[in-house]
Amino acid sequence: MPEKKGCLGCSFPIVIGVFIVLLVLLVVGFVIGPLGQSMLGIELPSWLSALSVDRPDPHLPAATVFHIFGFPITNSIIGAWITIIFLVGFSYVVTRRMKLIPGRLQAAFEFLIGWLYDLCCSVAGEANGRRFFPVVATIFLFVAFNAWLALLPGFGSIIAHTADGETELIRAANTDINMPLALALVSFIFVEFFGLRTLGVRYLGKFLNFGEFFRGARQLFTGKLKSGLSRLFTGAMTIFTGLLEGLSEFIRIVSLTFRLFGNMTAGEILLLVAAFLIPWLFAIPFYGLELLIGFIQAIIFGGLTLIFLTLAVESHGEEAP
């Protein structure tokens, strides 16, 4: 008879052994951490305290690592370069030898790209979805993989010696406000570009709509006092609404920037604090949470960009004569 398996294809003695090892590591991590020392009222010897994690000291501004032709290269820029190189290399490896019957890696990549394409088409329609897909997919992949790669060893743990002192060599680009701002500006530029390209000058009509106001003024001069005053009031409200619409376009830049920056920075600080309070295994569940948050933030950023693009190309109709 075949041997009965316990959990995940392993026998019960192995499962119990792994559980005991994990429990021991968790208890040891609790004891050597500042939280355990404070609760137990103990002080560790120097040889054991070396296993503890240093107190977190996060810095919001990105640190300059070196210069290229006088241009400062920060650790967040290096993190962005690593993400770009990884995405380009990963795409090349997957698409270099495409097969009719895909392997696991190709199937996973095709599923992700196909899902993003279907999302664009379901929101913006087939024609516009094909146009918006490169922008939305690029933003989603960069935000998601930058967040996921930042969880790997090396990000925040490799120390570089610079003219300003010691600093991290690599930092997640999403935790530097300049990168979310750059992504928000890219989103803003493409929204306005597709709006102008699709609707032409009519696209500016939702921001600068003076037609109703001028028609009311013309009716006043022709003696139609009642209808002229009514159109003047309506025109003034339309102008004010257009100004608010224009202001909202720029507010989107601020909201996209701080939403991504705030969530990614808070997640990084959470991981640092969890690893400091109880070293080793205690931070592992938070890594899983950060994987989910990175995916959600990529969906939000890319999804909002898709919605803004769709709204920008919608015709608002001609003004009434």
Residue 290, CB-side half-sphere exposure with 13 Å CA sphere: 25
Q: Which residues contact 43 (CB under 8 A, 6 or more apart)?
A: 37
> What angle, rounded to 10 degrees, do the helices at 104-124 and 284-312 form?
40
Q: Look at residue 85 in the predicted model and tell me its pLDDT.
A: 95
Q: Look at residue 320 in the predicted model and tell me its pLDDT.
A: 39
Averaged over successive runs of 10 residues, the pLDDT of the chain (321 residues) comes to 54 72 71 70 63 71 86 90 93 82 83 93 92 95 93 80 78 91 95 91 80 68 71 76 86 94 88 76 79 92 94 65 39
Cα–Cα distance measured from residue 130 to residue 109, given in angstroms and rounded to the nearest whole number: 18
Q: Look at residue 261 in the predicted model and tell me its pLDDT.
A: 93
Q: Look at residue 9 in the predicted model and tell me its pLDDT.
A: 58
pTM: 0.82
Q: Look at residue 319 in the predicted model and tell me its pLDDT.
A: 42
Query: And the tokens for 68?
Result: 């290229």
Q: Look at residue 179 in the predicted model and tell me its pLDDT.
A: 93
Q: Look at residue 297 in the predicted model and tell me its pLDDT.
A: 93
Give yes or no for a contact between 123 and 24, defined as CB atoms under 8 angstroms apart: no
265, 252, 272: which is closest to 293 by C-alpha? 265
Cβ contacts of 282-291, under 8 Å, gap ≥ 24:
282/26, 282/29, 282/30, 282/33, 287/151, 290/147, 290/151, 291/147, 291/148, 291/151
Q: Look at residue 131 in the predicted model and tell me its pLDDT.
A: 94
Give yes or no for a contact between 278 and 36, defined as CB atoms under 8 angstroms apart: yes
CB crowding 41-62: b at 16 or more within 10 Å, else e: eeeeeeeeeeebbeeeeeeeeb
Q: Look at residue 37 in the predicted model and tell me its pLDDT.
A: 67
Question: Dihedral through CA 156, CA 160, CA 166, CA 168, nearest 10?
Answer: -20
Give 5's DSSP letter: P
